[in-house]
Structure 1
Amino acid sequence: MQDYEPDDVDFGLIHALQIEPRASWKVLAPILAVDPVTLSRRYQRLRDTGLIWVTGYDAGTPGRGALVEIECAPGQSAATAEAMSEDPVVAGIDFTAGGRDLLLTLMAQDSAETSQFLLHRLGEYPEIRRARTHLITEVLFEAGNWRLRTLSAVQAARVPGPRPPRPRAARTVSPDLKRVIHHELGIDGRAATTAIAERAGVSNQRITDAIATMRRDGSLLLRTDIARTYSEWPIYAWYFMQVPAPLIERLRTSLGRIEEVRLAVLVASEYNLIMAVWLRTLNDVHRFELLLEKILPGSRVADRSVVMQIGKHLGHILDERGRAAGPVVPVTPPGRA
């Protein structure tokens, strides 16, 4: 894959797309002081070089998501991860240092599919020596809310949010149509509504209305991700914590102010909080641990792992530099409206 070094204009564009992943180039042009054609060309270059990817997905309900720690036979982590990457339930695969070789993020269609994977399909990988599962009971903060700091506060405020549904739009979206939209936007979160309509066999207006309705009711989330090594936060770490229950409420309002946090979930396991963070240096792994225990008195970081490489992220296969260089295995299987 051809390499490309993004500049400030690119980072400004990425920041704007983090705020509104489907914003039009015409709308963003005056905010970024760049003409629409140039923005389109820059976005295509960022996407073609795997530096950013936009994904649509269903946040779902508790019980359909989990984090799974995997220990493999020596030297078998890469082969195991490659085989697992073909499973759509395995939305993310991190190669980690520490008490686990791999950390999987599961995003199933429902709790039954989660159980099917954990109780049956996981056993199909012969090189797995041990697995520990943490069922996600609640997402406190997810990486779709994480932002670069490139745009000024004034510029960021000018980026419009998602367009609301038309007054005449249907108030609900059929499960079959939702499946088509989740699948297509899982491959490309900026996919044209005309292309989705053609695949679904319905009108363009119906797809436009459905996307707006799904975003409003929370059944469709969109996010723009950047290859970590090209950001100012090249170090990626997981913290496994035991936090007094009364402090969880404090986290709901404070996590968004901690710029390093990418993901924070409550889990049903020996821990009750697991966090993923991006840091500027390796030394910050320990500094951030001290910060966590300071802002959450009585809490304990029971374990931590540094991610050496990301193999798969929200269905996108990444290369050794964290670029979306490979195919996409959407979490939602294809369907027909």
Structure 2
Amino acid sequence: MPHETVLDPLDRRLLNALQVEPRATWTALAPVVGADPATLSRRWQRLHEDGIAWITGRFGGATLPGAAMIEVECAPRRVEETAAALAEDAEVLVLDQTAGSRDLLVTASCGSIDALGEYVTGRIAALPGVRSLRTHPWIDLLLEGGDWRLRALSDQERLALPAVPPPRPRAAATVSAPLREILRYELAVDGRATAAAIGERWSVSPQRVVDAIATLRRSGELRLRTDIARRWSDWPVYAWYFIEAPASIVEQLRTELGRVPQIRLAALTASRYNLMLAVWVRDLAAIHTFEVAFERAAPGARIQDRSLVMRIVKHMGRILDENGQATGRIVPYEPYPGQAPRAPHSA
């Protein structure tokens, strides 16, 4: 499918708006994006069904306990087999097949350092295709991938978009464990799932669903993100950077790296490389331009290694095809497998 026929300027404006507020109504987005609500709804449905864009709800706040980047070197001709096995693991959030000094880069979240150690040594190291691995536990996220934006809207237009709705004054201050689990499942499958649809599937009132989502978003426990298949983003070249940065500039990096538009994610790690960056650029030639911008933003930091991503196998739980488009499979969840069970009355 030719690139130009997939994402036109209106598509990009819509996706940029949904990156800012993923659950905004079509009516609220219409005057900013520049199309009527019905058109926006049809556009999103096409983009979502084609696997070009998707919205994911993630629980756990801004940091992920027991998270790490794991470099995996595979035996010759066993890279795809190993990737397919790892993609089925609930612990694996993102799985990239790369060129360079490693074959696979696994972003894993295991809940604790102990669980991470057990996963690395008991699961990954035991796979027959694995020859060696290196683990880089995350200390902190300076920039999160969900905060990366297209630049289809002006600053003024972005400011005109609806804000995240706060909880109602009468909403419950806490969300019950059963309802939290319902939302963990539903919003992983579809971050725009309506309160009415969720309530009908699980026998919960839509108002309770609305209140719970608002409460969880305000607390930071629930974060929503709109992602776009890399090849359709205008930033199709994806690379990971492994960096040694002086500890004295870390706090400065929280601000400065946000000014480098190519950086999608920046993680502080407890390893030889104390800073890792996920970077999207327009073409290979732009790699040099990015590196110049990074050196200006991070004086004293040294790029020690880099790996070009050849294929994204899994992204935020979603299995992607060879074009980087969502297939509809979500591990550990599946979109409404069979008859969805009813929620407990205590939800």
| TM tier, smaller | over 0.9
Residue identity in the other structure for 1:88: A
The corresponding residue for 2:257 is 255
Aligned residue pairs total 337
Residue identity in the other structure for 2:269: V
Q: Structure 2-normalised TM-score?
A: 0.91
Cα distance in 2 for residues equivalent to 1:110 and 1:201: 33
- Within the alignment, does 1:20 sit opposite 2:24 as a pair? no
For structure 1, the 5+ residue unaligned runs are: none
| CA RMSD in angstroms, aligned pairs only | 2.2
Cα distance in 2 for residues equivalent to 1:106 and 1:200: 30
Q: 1:160 aligns with which of 153, 156, 162?
A: 162
For structure 2, the 5+ residue unaligned runs are: 335-339
Per mean C-alpha deviation after superposition, the further-off stretch among 120-129 and 57-66 is: 57-66
The corresponding residue for 1:31 is 32
Cα distance in 1 for residues equivalent to 2:66 and 2:163: 28
Q: Structure 1-normalised TM-score?
A: 0.94
Per mean C-alpha deviation after superposition, the further-off stretch among 135-144 and 123-132 is: 123-132
The corresponding residue for 2:54 is 53
Q: 2:151 aligns with which of 149, 158, 165?
A: 149
In the TM superposition, 1:186-205 aligns within 5 A as: 186-205=188-207
Cα distance in 2 for residues equivalent to 1:124 and 1:173: 39
Tell me the secondary structure at the aligned position of residue 120 of structure 1. helix
Cα distance in 2 for residues equivalent to 1:158 and 1:287: 32
In the TM superposition, 1:37-186 aligns within 5 A as: 37-60=38-61, 61-186=63-188
Deviations 1:289-333 (A, max 9, x none): 23323332221111110101101100111111111124111479x
Deviations 1:53-97 (A, max 9, x none): 100002445532111100001111111111111111111110101
Residue identity in the other structure for 1:245: A
Contact 2:198 2:209 in 1 (8 A): yes
Residue identity in the other structure for 2:47: L
Per mean C-alpha deviation after superposition, the further-off stretch among 204-213 and 280-289 is: 280-289
Deviations 1:73-122 (A, max 9, x none): 11111111111111111111101011100001112344454333223122
Tell me the secondary structure at the aligned position of residue 47 of structure 1. helix
Residue identity in the other structure for 1:102: L
In the TM superposition, 1:263-282 aligns within 5 A as: 263-282=265-284
Deviations 1:161-202 (A, max 9, x none): 211001111112233322221121111111111232244442
Q: 1:150 to 1:254 in 2, by over 3 A?
A: same
Q: 1:268 to 1:276 in 2, by over 3 A?
A: same
Give identity over the alignment, percent: 49
- Within the alignment, does 1:323 sit opposite 2:291 as a pair? no
Structure 1 runs of 4+ with >6 Å offset: none
Cα distance in 2 for residues equivalent to 1:215 and 1:115: 30
